[in-house]
């Protein structure tokens, strides 16, 4: 901890403390610094320490402690205003606004005292010559809080009409308040329009766009703009998470989770901030937080999860039902205190309305990992059964159940097996004939997969007993196919010989129908196809069996969907055989024919598998347009009937195809859907993690860095080298590092890049390792860790040298040279490193034979010379004497001149680089008191751009700078 010996060391200590995270530790340090300031016997030191204390209290959960230091400051101002410098005078008047808001947040402070304070603020602002804008804004807050809406409207109008001056809140904060008034009046669109400049980054401050992003969530949901709401949640929560003072905004994000079916994420948010349940420094934000806790717990209880354990106040365990009651009671008690203070019921009314909200979206996928707390509904509606007779209302009769099951089976509807299960259950209490028992056994067997052999055999016996020998043979054939599914291929083929011969004989004698015959032929074809796939033998036999099937059913389908389905599946089998033989083009055409038959028969869900096969073949052939078409068709055909894991896979494949052609925005939408359905399927840690990995990459491509970072961090929690491959882990870390770098979180970016580099270190090919080490070094430098950055650049440079990559070796040396100015190596070490970079370039240029490579190296040399000149000019110590300054500038000018020569040799490709170096040299000439030489360089730039496109931004900038360089000589 820094020792406070004088005023300067006190100021440095306060500056350092300001950079610490919000919270009690920072507040405690501010209190210690005030004690140290008092020891200095310098009034301004005490004033600044009190101001620092006020600031850290305001940006923490201990806002109620602001009043004491402010009262002391105000007393010091009244007694000796001359002790305040200009900045502290401004600060004193500025925090009057904090006091007004702070008083509103404390229900024990009487309303009369707040009104008196408003008058005091107005009086002092008038004396200081400030506009009344800040005063009217404060009055608006008071009136809005107590529910005096006419007064709030008057204050709002006066606030906007008053002149903006130094006491007005920043644009971002003002727009937040103005948008809030629109929300209070039910004008969601108007609020979002007002907030637009803050959301777009035009205006910002310490707490914006944090609070605007949070406030925008509910209106966006109400307006149905769910994609924006999702983005604002991911982006905004990332900003709010590390800031202890933002409990109110944090509550908005919990509320968002409760209103969008993301209850599990809401619980995660509560678990991150246990202190928010009990921190009493700002009662109003605690009331808001407890209200949304009650809302979330009510939602869980309504879903039948009232007994689930949930995060809550420390000291005991909580269930959702218990916490709902506790949070509601605490919130209402606080609201009652505010209403008692205000003399209205407004706060309590607003609070009860908030707690009574109903979900606005059943389930809004967020992209981050989520566990569904609501019971998943059916993926597709079951076709409605015929309306029961009046006397059967409520419970269908057995005949109705049987008729519905037969209808679903005959028309190949999804959920037919579920209908037969209902028949089987009802049959336990009803006497049924032998044929129906055969049907029940047959369809029950179909739902058991490899375990259905015995039931199929039983069904065959019952069909035979009922006198339907053809259906009995078909059931035995199905039993044989099930054996094949279990790997018993030889046994399956042997078991099918007799049924095959028998069904053909019966069919020839008109003793059975085409349906039963086709069923046996299909079972035989399926078994022979498995032999092809598993043993790579018997393709000829399989093709013969398929063609025999097609000869039977071809043209006979008509309205018999079973026969149409047999024909389509047979054509798909021929496609598989063509694919097996290496004829991908023929296979694709046959698969398309099969899907067309299914779709034409209004059985599109059967086409899904074959469209996926078409997509895979098209991808192999490089036909991405056809792959995209087929995957879109698969999603359309499958509709709601595809199982969650299948939907996840389809969306993910389509996302990858779209991403491959650069459609990152739509690719992100499909990756988001893939992550959602993977979560629904219980595959969050496997398929879901991969979908999130892809989603993060697509968001990064769009420049949506905060959203991408949230998603990628969520993916990393589940990605593993064992399941997904270490390449996926490295890529995710890499992308996350890029996001964090763009967000200014340089230390965290460096950590991610170093973690990825450590994995890549073990790969045979070292380019990724070197690149990641280089990027990590860049992040470490931006994080203010020059020594660590130098070590990382050194490591990267060694790797670049080993790979023979001169360009990046030189860049690592240049970066180290600039870092050296901030380390013990100093200017001398910096100059040595830059000289090494020049030598590496020149040596490589001498050795290279390829003209294109030589041109690229020349460009690298020119940039290195240019940077060498900049470094020499900037590394002159502030206290250097004139001869030392002149010597450094001369050396810098020599490097600039050399750079100009190199760039000139590159012709048009080096034009912009040459003019930049020429201007830099011109400024050096001016600093060396050589106006004529400076002017000559400026004119050289203007001449270089004669006839150039005036709309070119670089041309315009260079010309403007050249004219600026000419001005002194012209004067």
Comparing CA positions, the residue from 616, 683, 686 lying closest to residue 656 is 616
Comparing CA positions, the residue from 147, 105, 21 lying closest to residue 288 is 105
**Per-residue pLDDT at 101:** 81
The values of phi and psi at residue 558, to 5°, are: 55, -125
Give mean pLDDT, residues 716-737: 95
CA distance 18 to 20: 6
**Six-digit token pair at 966?**
């000419």
The predicted-structure confidence for 452-507, as pLDDT tens digits, reads as follows: 999 999 999 999 999 999 999 999 999 999 999 988 999 999 999 999 999 999 99
Comparing CA positions, the residue from 638, 670, 626 lying closest to residue 652 is 670
- Give the three-state DSSP class for 742: helix
> Residue 310 is inside which H or E element, if any?
strand 309-310
**Per-residue pLDDT at 372:** 56
- pLDDT of 388 above 70: no
- pLDDT of 376 above 60: no
**Per-residue pLDDT at 63:** 86
**Per-residue pLDDT at 639:** 86
The predicted-structure confidence for 559-598, as pLDDT tens digits, reads as follows: 789 999 999 999 999 999 999 999 999 999 999 999 999 9
**Six-digit token pair at 199?**
């959301």
**Six-digit token pair at 11?**
């100021």
For the chain, give the longest Cα–Cα distance: 119
Average pLDDT, the chain: 93
Instruction: Report DSSP letters for 745-794, one per residue.
Output: -HHHHHHHHHHHHHHHTTSSS-HHHHHHHHHHHHHHHHTT-HHHHHHHHH
CA distance 336 to 356: 17
- pLDDT of 1 above 70: no
**Six-digit token pair at 20?**
């610490």
State the CB neighbour count (10 A cutoff) for residue 378: 9
Comparing CA positions, the residue from 611, 678, 599, 642 lying closest to residue 414 is 642
Residue 13: exposure state from Cβ atoms within 10 A (0-12, 13-18, ≥19): buried
**Six-digit token pair at 465?**
């007993």
Q: How confident is the model at residue 449 (pLDDT cuts 50, 70, 90)?
A: confident
Q: Confirm if 569 and 521 have CB atoms less than 8 A apart.
A: no
Place of tokens 């979560």: 679
**Per-residue pLDDT at 135:** 95
Q: Confirm if 427 and 444 have CB atoms less than 8 A apart.
A: no
**Per-residue pLDDT at 32:** 94
**Per-residue pLDDT at 40:** 93
Listed in sequence order, the residues at least 6 apart from 607 whose beta carbon sits closer than 8 Å to its beta carbon are 594, 595, 598, 599, 633, 634, 637
Give mean pLDDT, residues 343-361: 96
- pLDDT of 380 above 50: no
**Per-residue pLDDT at 369:** 83
879 versus 210: the higher-pLDDT residue is: 210
The values of phi and psi at residue 681, to 5°, are: -85, 0
The values of phi and psi at residue 310, to 5°, are: -140, 160
**Per-residue pLDDT at 305:** 95
**Per-residue pLDDT at 882:** 86
The predicted-structure confidence for 591-640, as pLDDT tens digits, reads as follows: 999 999 999 999 999 999 999 999 999 999 999 999 999 999 999 999 88
**Per-residue pLDDT at 379:** 30
Comparing CA positions, the residue from 11, 139, 18 lying closest to residue 87 is 11
Q: How confident is the model at residue 387 (pLDDT cuts 50, 70, 90)?
A: very low
Q: How confident is the model at residue 391 (pLDDT cuts 50, 70, 90)?
A: very low
CA distance 99 to 102: 5
- pLDDT of 885 above 80: yes
Phi/psi class of residue 395: alpha, beta or left (left: φ > 0; alpha: ψ in -120 to 50)?
A: beta
Give mean pLDDT, residues 79-84: 94
Q: What angle do CA 39, 45, 51 make, to 5 degrees?
A: 120
CA distance 806 to 828: 23
CA distance 907 to 901: 11
**Six-digit token pair at 456?**
């199929």
**Per-residue pLDDT at 863:** 97
- pLDDT of 383 above 50: no
**Per-residue pLDDT at 557:** 61
Instruction: Report DSSP letters for 886-908, one per residue.
Output: HHHHHHHHHHHHHHHHHHHTTGG
Residue 236: exposure state from Cβ atoms within 10 A (0-12, 13-18, ≥19): buried
**Per-residue pLDDT at 381:** 29
> Residue 395 is inside which H or E element, if any?
none
Give mean pLDDT, residues 712-727: 94
The predicted-structure confidence for 746-766, as pLDDT tens digits, reads as follows: 999 999 999 999 999 999 999
Give mean pLDDT, residues 219-236: 97
- pLDDT of 385 above 80: no
Place of tokens 């018999």: 560
Give mean pLDDT, residues 754-779: 96
CA distance 247 to 284: 10
Give mean pLDDT, residues 821-847: 94
**Six-digit token pair at 509?**
């004698």
Say what angle helices 911-927 and 931-944 make with each other, to 10 degrees. 160
Using alpha carbons, list the distances in angstroms from residue 739 to 365, 668, 726: 21, 16, 20
Q: Confirm if 408 and 421 have CB atoms less than 8 A apart.
A: no
Q: How confident is the model at residue 970 (pLDDT cuts 50, 70, 90)?
A: low
- pLDDT of 352 above 50: yes
Q: Confirm if 847 and 835 have CB atoms less than 8 A apart.
A: no
Listed in sequence order, the residues at least 6 apart from 753 whose beta carbon sits closer than 8 Å to its beta carbon are 733, 734, 737, 772, 773, 775, 776, 779
Percent of the chain that is helix, strand, coil (3-state, to 5): 75, 0, 25
- Residue 208: beta bridge partners? 205
The predicted-structure confidence for 892-924, as pLDDT tens digits, reads as follows: 999 999 999 999 999 999 999 999 999 999 999
Share of the chain above pLDDT 90, in %: 89
CA distance 825 to 37: 36
**Per-residue pLDDT at 554:** 81
Share of the chain above pLDDT 70, in %: 97
**Per-residue pLDDT at 390:** 39
**Per-residue pLDDT at 849:** 84
Q: How confident is the model at residue 673 (pLDDT cuts 50, 70, 90)?
A: very high
CA distance 306 to 322: 8
The Cβ-side half-sphere exposure at 100, using a 13 Å CA radius, reads 24
* Torsion sign (Cα): 728, 732, 737, 739: positive
Q: Confirm if 550 and 570 have CB atoms less than 8 A apart.
A: yes
Q: How confident is the model at residue 371 (pLDDT cuts 50, 70, 90)?
A: low
CA distance 184 to 186: 6
Residue 73: exposure state from Cβ atoms within 10 A (0-12, 13-18, ≥19): buried
- pLDDT of 295 above 80: yes
**Per-residue pLDDT at 2:** 65
The predicted-structure confidence for 511-551, as pLDDT tens digits, reads as follows: 999 999 999 999 999 999 999 999 999 999 999 999 999 99
């Amino acid at each position: 901890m820094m020792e406070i010996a004088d005023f300067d060391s006190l100021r440095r200590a306060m500056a350092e403390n300001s950079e610490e995270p919000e919270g009690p530790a920072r507040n405690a340090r501010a209190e210690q610094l005030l004690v140290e300031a008092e020891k200095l016997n310098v009034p301004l030191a005490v004033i600044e320490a009190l101001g620092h204390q006020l600031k850290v209290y305001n940006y923490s959960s201990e806002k109620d402690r602001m009043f004491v230091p402010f009262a002391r400051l105000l007393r010091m101002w009244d007694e000796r205003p001359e002790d305040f410098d200009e900045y502290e005078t401004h600060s004193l008047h500025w925090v009057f606004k904090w006091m007004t808001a702070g008083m509103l947040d404390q229900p024990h402070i009487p309303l009369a005292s707040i009104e008196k304070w408003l008058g005091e603020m107005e009086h002092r602002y008038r004396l200081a010559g400030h506009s009344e804008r800040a005063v009217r804004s404060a009055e608006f807050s008071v009136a809005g809080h107590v529910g005096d809406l006419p007064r709030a409207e008057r204050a709002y109008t006066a606030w906007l009409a008053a002149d903006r001056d130094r006491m007005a809140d920043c644009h971002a904060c003002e727009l937040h308040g103005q948008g809030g008034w629109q929300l209070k009046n039910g004008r969601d669109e108007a609020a979002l329009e007002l907030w637009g400049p803050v959301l777009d980054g035009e205006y910002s401050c310490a707490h914006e766009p944090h609070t605007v992003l949070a406030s925008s969530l509910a209106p966006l949901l109400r307006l149905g703009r769910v994609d924006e709401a999702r983005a604002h949640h991911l982006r905004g929560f990332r900003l709010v998470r590390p800031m202890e003072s933002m409990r109110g905004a944090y509550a908005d994000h919990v509320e968002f989770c409760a209103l969008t079916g993301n209850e599990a994420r809401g619980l995660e948010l509560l678990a991150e901030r246990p202190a928010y349940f009990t921190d009493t420094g700002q009662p109003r934000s605690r009331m808001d937080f407890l209200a949304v806790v009650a809302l979330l717990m009510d939602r869980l209880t309504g879903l039948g999860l009232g007994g689930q354990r949930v995060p809550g106040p420390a000291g005991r365990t909580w269930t959702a039902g218990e916490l709902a009651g506790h949070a509601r009671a605490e919130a209402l008690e606080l609201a009652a205190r505010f209403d008692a203070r205000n003399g209205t019921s407004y706060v309590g009314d607003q609070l009860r309305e908030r707690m009574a909200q109903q979900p606005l979206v059943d389930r809004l996928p967020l992209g981050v990992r989520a566990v569904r707390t609501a019971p998943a509904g059916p993926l597709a509606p079951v076709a409605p059964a015929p309306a029961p007779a009046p006397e059967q209302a409520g419970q269908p009769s057995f005949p109705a159940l049987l008729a519905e099951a037969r209808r679903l089976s005959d028309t190949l509807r999804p959920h037919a097996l579920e209908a037969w299960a209902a028949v089987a259950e009802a049959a336990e209490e009803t006497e049924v004939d032998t044929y129906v028992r055969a049907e029940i056994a047959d369809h029950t067997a179909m739902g058991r997969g490899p375990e259905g052999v015995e039931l199929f055999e039983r069904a065959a016996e019952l069909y035979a007993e009922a006198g339907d020998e053809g259906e009995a043979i078909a059931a035995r054939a199905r039993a044989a196919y099930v054996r094949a599914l279990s790997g018993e291929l030889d046994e399956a083929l042997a078991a099918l010989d007799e049924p095959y011969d028998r069904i053909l004989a019966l069919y020839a004698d008109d003793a059975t129908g085409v349906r039963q015959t086709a069923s046996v032929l299909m079972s035989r074809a399926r078994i022979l196809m498995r032999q092809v796939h598993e043993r790579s033998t018997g393709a000829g036999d399989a093709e013969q069996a398929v063609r025999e099937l097609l000869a039977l059913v071809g043209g006979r389908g008509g309205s018999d969907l079973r026969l149409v389905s047999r024909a389509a599946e047979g054509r798909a089998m021929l496609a598989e055989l063509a694919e097996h033989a290496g004829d991908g083009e023929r296979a694709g055409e046959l698969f398309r024919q099969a899907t067309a038959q299914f779709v034409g028969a209004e059985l599109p869900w059967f086409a899904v598998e074959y469209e996926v096969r078409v997509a895979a073949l098209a991808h192999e052939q490089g036909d991405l347009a056809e792959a995209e078409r087929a995957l879109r068709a698969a999603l359309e055909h499958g509709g709601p009937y595809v199982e969650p894991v299948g939907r996840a896979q389809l969306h993910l494949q389509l996302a990858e195809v779209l991403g491959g052609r650069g459609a990152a925005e739509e690719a992100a939408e499909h990756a988001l859907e893939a992550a959602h359905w993977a979560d629904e399927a219980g595959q969050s840690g496997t398929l879901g993690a991969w979908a999130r990995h892809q989603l993060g990459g697509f968001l990064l491509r769009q420049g949506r860095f905060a959203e991408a970072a949230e998603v990628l961090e969520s993916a990393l929690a589940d990605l593993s080298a064992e399941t997904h491959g270490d390449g996926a882990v490295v890529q995710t870390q890499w992308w996350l590092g890029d996001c964090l770098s763009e967000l200014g979180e340089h230390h965290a970016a460096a950590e991610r890049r170093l973690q990825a580099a450590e994995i890549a270190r073990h790969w045979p090919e070292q380019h990724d390792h070197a690149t990641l080490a280089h990027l990590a070094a860049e992040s470490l430098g931006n994080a203010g860790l020059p020594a660590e950055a130098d070590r990382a650049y050194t490591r990267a440079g060694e790797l670049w040298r080993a790979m023979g990559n001169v360009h990046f070796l030189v860049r690592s040396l240049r970066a180290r040279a600039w870092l050296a100015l901030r380390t013990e190596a100093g200017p001398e070490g910096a100059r040595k490193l830059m000289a090494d970079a020049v030598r590496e370039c020149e040596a490589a240029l001498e050795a290279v034979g390829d003209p294109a490579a030589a041109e690229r190296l020349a460009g690298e040399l020119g940039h290195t010379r240019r940077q060498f000149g900049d470094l020499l000019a900037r590394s002159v110590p502030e206290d250097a004497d004139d001869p030392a300054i002149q010597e450094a500038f001369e050396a810098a000018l020599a490097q600039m001149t050399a750079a100009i020569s190199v760039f000139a040799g590159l012709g048009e490709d080096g034009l912009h680089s040459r003019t930049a170096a020429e201007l830099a040299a011109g400024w050096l000439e001016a600093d060396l008191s050589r106006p004529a030489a400076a002017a000559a360089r400026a004119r050289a730039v203007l001449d270089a751009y004669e006839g150039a496109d005036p709309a070119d931004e670089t041309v315009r900038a260079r010309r403007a700078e050249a004219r600026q360089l000419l001005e002194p000589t012209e004067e």
